[in-house]
Structure 1
Amino acid sequence: MSHVPHELHEDFPDDSDRIHELKQTDANFRKLAERYHEVNRAVHRAETDVEPMDDDELTVMRKHRMTLKDEIAQRLHQSA
């Protein structure tokens, strides 16, 4: 288990500029990225015991983060 947040620009290093551009020009992408950031930070806080949570709840949040990341990857691929 990694105690380092999964930041979008680190997960998609080749798409950093495109992520920035879509955040500026596409309201739906911006909301998707913001939601990813919120869930990602909550997972990170739970993993580092800053805000501990039940293992089942943490698993659900990790799956949600993964779903959001998949949606972001799909949007990046479509817009390329």
Structure 2
Amino acid sequence: MNKAELIKLEIKLRKAYRSAFFCGVLVVMAAVAIVMVSLIAGQPVDQKAVAQDWTPLIMLMAFIAGSCHFFHAGVKEKIRKLDR
């Protein structure tokens, strides 16, 4: 791969990382909001069940964000080597 292709790949990976990170944050906020709204409304809510149901999605977003960040660092290092 030449330098231009690596720079395009770096930009795409950076955008994917940011998207996955903020999507994960939104998923966590949604889970908290569901519990808070239920408590405000006076409805009983099983917080353990909510946490167990939302955990796989949170872990998926964390994995996607982590792998994008990892590959972004690798591509960035290749670009630095090409600059030398």
TM-score of the two chains, using structure 1 as the length reference: 0.48
Structure of greater Rg: 2
TM-score of the two chains, using structure 2 as the length reference: 0.46
